[in-house]
Amino acid sequence: MIDVTNALQTLAPNAQWIMRDDELEWLDATQTQPTEAEITAEISRLQAEYDSKQYQRDRAEAYPSTVDQLDDIYHNGVDGWKATIKAVKDTYPKETI
């Protein structure tokens, strides 16, 4: 889950701050603390980016191991291997916007 910590890491890289429960204490004297609106917008942006890549996480789980893929190539050739990979890609298609 994307949260304030993730947003702050992208909005103010290397900034110094502490989160205590839901309370942010800004310690950095060189970087300006992002506003609540900026943090909320960044959380939304990061969450949308994460959600848009669900197919990648699903594919990674569904692909055979490297050893199994090499065995597939050995026994079925590259075309057999391509068919195995295509089946996973077809099951978890890349979403287009």
Distance of CA 13 to the CA centre of its chain: 18
Domain locations in the chain?
A: 4-52, 55-91
Q: What is the pLDDT of residue 13?
A: 95
Q: What is the pLDDT of residue 95?
A: 75
Angle, helices 36-52 vs 4-11, to 10°: value is: 100
At residue 96 the predicted structure's pLDDT band, cuts being 50, 70 and 90, is: low
* Rounded Cα–Cα distance for residues 9 and 48 (Å): 17
Which tens digits make up the pLDDT trace of 37-68? Answer: 999 999 999 999 999 999 999 999 999 999 99
- Residue 58 structure tokens: 């699903």
* Rounded Cα–Cα distance for residues 20 and 77 (Å): 56
| Average of per-residue pLDDT values in the chain | 95
pTM: 0.76
